[in-house]
Amino acid sequence: MANTVNAHAADAGGETRRDFLLHSTVAVGAVGTAMMAWPLLDSMNPAADTLSLSTTEFRIDGIESGQGITVVWRGKPVFVRHRTAAEIEAAQSVDMSDLPDPQDDASRVTKPEFLILVGICTHLGCIPLGMKQTEPRGDFGGWFCPCHGSHYDTSGRIRRGPAPENLAVPPYEFVSDTTVRVG
């Protein structure tokens, strides 16, 4: 075999037609394999029916001041808290330099009374406590994550603990005065 190759050896570089065929075959095979890998991997991404479950509507007229409800959006809890005047005041009066993830309270709400947040701790995805009267709300009156001890304030902003970011504000709109659509 080696002799056959040598007999066909080309001039300067030592490259033969056989080498060219070999390398191009390997290259085409590698690209083909990579193209086959994509459908396999992409099949693991969220499917069309999962993506289509993207909006949730709920009413807010039954929520008393100081109380809140949890609704489910995309399989995740969404916290809806009807804030008291004191809670709004506390959220608005915070010095930005005290915040690990500085955000103005006004930029986190549409109507100041209704704080709407994705109820998932930005550390490792636990659900913070604080939606029920009996649950601990942490040192800043908002929410407390029991898993690794993150404290959120009355605007859902991270104040202390390992979580890197504020509780996320989902995309939502007031369909009417009493109805909200999330998503």
Residues that are catalytic: 148
Among 29, 32, 46, 171, binds another protein (CB under 8 A): 46
Identity of the amino acid at 113: E
3-class SS of residue 35 = helix
Q: Is 170 in the site for another protein (CB under 8 A)?
A: no
Smallest distance, Å, CB 155 to another protein? 20
Site residues for another protein, 113-152, by CB under 8 A, read 123-127, 129, 146-149
Nearest to 90 by CA among 46, 19, 154, 20: 154
CA distances from 135 to 2, 43, 68, 138 (A): 79, 40, 12, 9
Among 50, 55, 65, 179, binds another protein (CB under 8 A): 50
Q: Is 81 in the site for another protein (CB under 8 A)?
A: no
| CB contact set of 39 (below 8 Å; sequence gap of 6+) | none
Note the residues at the interface with another protein (CB under 8 A).
41, 44-47, 50, 70, 72, 74-77, 123-127, 129, 146-149, 162-164
